[in-house]
A = this chain, B = another copy of it.
Amino acid sequence: MRRVYVVGVGVSRVNRRFSDSLRSLFAEAALKAIDDAGNPRIDAVVAANMMSSRLQEQDSLASLLADAIGLRGRMGFKVESACGSGGSAIVAGYSLVASGLADVVLVGGVEKMSDYPTRTVTRALAQAADAEYELFYGASFAGLNALVTRMYMEKYNVKREVMAEWPVLMHENGRANPYAQLRFKVSVEDVLKSPIIAEPIRLLDCSPLGDGAAAIILAGEEYARRLSDTPVEIAGLWQATDCLDIASREDPVGVKAARIACEKAYKMAGVEAGDVDVVELHDAFTIMGLLSLEELGFAGRGEAAKLVADGRFRVGDKPQVNLSGGLKARGHPVGATGVYQAAEIVMQLRGDFPGLKASNAEVGVAENIGGTGASVSVVVFRR
């Protein structure tokens, strides 16, 4: 298979971007990435987005976004896997380059939520769950994550206050990241006293609503060195699905699709969990961050929160996790999140991430979850 490299990245600050449209937000990140790659000819645009159909009443999104950056006439389509759209788009973009259909591909994610009432956005987000088996019965997306959290706490005897260490660490990391939406410290007490969203999930366990766009440029091996002094290889990747509804899962207290995607991606890259230096994983809620640590092989079952409380996963550790602040503090512009993660890992491996810098970063991993685990992608990057 033809080797594929990331030769450019661009991200916009996650925030409530009321004065930006889908087009302008996407263009900001995409043009940065194209510039970072030395302005190559782009053969294809793979767009990642979850909610434009519901919120902006706009489909045919890839055509719209490609046109917004002057790329009419190129290949372009949108990829959707709910909150996991970004990672799936990277898989699609990778295969366009690996197959030889395209030489240089822009994978760009964008999401805009701030213009709508929270109730509208919450309902749109819930479309990541099963409309007939879950939402019909009144479940919200936070409510479903609360069920998993409660089962996790009971099954592994994990204390609520220990789990609060996760958002504390994320806010600590996010403070240094100029692209992060939330850049303030919080304490365990702050987390435990923040408003209840869906018991036992509290406000500070939840990633914030925000707008954002991120883009990466993928290129075939012959083009990589020509376009970048510091190309980062995609050494392995996979994406796997599971049923949407939690009740039908083999084990509701886990993310099996993450395990499958991880095994395949690690094998393809020839790495093991112990080889990974830096990780961006999908902590839309505290529970998803902890389960991701466990499914990716960085913590035993039920042990992730304890390890976080013990001071693990900081700069200098192996692996160093969510130095961006994660979804919790960098923010979670849904369909764009997987592309943010990829861009951040690439910057860590190149040494030019503008926030907390990883030490000795050779191998990086990005993990992006759709729904409560219905779709998970894992991408392994190597310097």
Quick check: A244 and B64 within 8 Å, CB to CB? yes
Quick check: A62 and B100 within 8 Å, CB to CB? no
Chain A facing B: main interface SS: mixed
Give 16 new A-B contacts, CB below 8 A, not counting A75-B238, A77-B81.
A57-B131, A57-B135, A58-B130, A58-B131, A59-B82, A60-B80, A60-B84, A60-B244, A63-B371, A66-B241, A67-B243, A73-B257, A77-B80, A80-B80, A99-B99, A99-B100
Contact of A79 among B77, B100, B375 (CB under 8 A): B77
Oligomeric state, in copies? 2
How far, in angstroms, from A17 to B71 measured CA to CA in the complex? 39
Interface assignment of A45: CB less than 8 Å from any CB of chain B: yes
**A51-B53, A96-B95 are known contacts. Are A60 and B79 too (CB-CB below 8 A)?**
no
> In the assembled complex, which residues on chain B have CB atoms less than 8 Å from the CB atom of A375?
60, 62-63, 76-77
Quick check: A374 and B244 within 8 Å, CB to CB? no
Contact of A73 among B73, B91, B242 (CB under 8 A): B242
> In the assembled complex, which residues on chain B have CB atoms less than 8 Å from the CB atom of A330?
none
Quick check: B127 and A58 within 8 Å, CB to CB? yes
Quick check: A374 and B63 within 8 Å, CB to CB? yes
How far, in angstroms, from A182 to B240 measured CA to CA in the complex? 39
How far, in angstroms, from A370 to B53 measured CA to CA in the complex? 15
How far, in angstroms, from A58 to B73 measured CA to CA in the complex? 30
Size of A's binding interface in residues, CB under 8 A: 67
How far, in angstroms, from A76 to B375 measured CA to CA in the complex? 8
How far, in angstroms, from A50 to B153 measured CA to CA in the complex? 39
A154 CB to closest chain B CB (Å) equals 25
Nearest B residue to A87 via CB reads: B77
Interface assignment of A226: CB less than 8 Å from any CB of chain B: no
A312 CB to closest chain B CB (Å) equals 29
Interface assignment of A224: CB less than 8 Å from any CB of chain B: no
The A6-54 residues at the B interface (CB cut-off 8 A) are 21, 45, 50-51, 53-54
A314 CB to closest chain B CB (Å) equals 33
> In the assembled complex, which residues on chain B have CB atoms less than 8 Å from the CB atom of A127?
53, 57-60
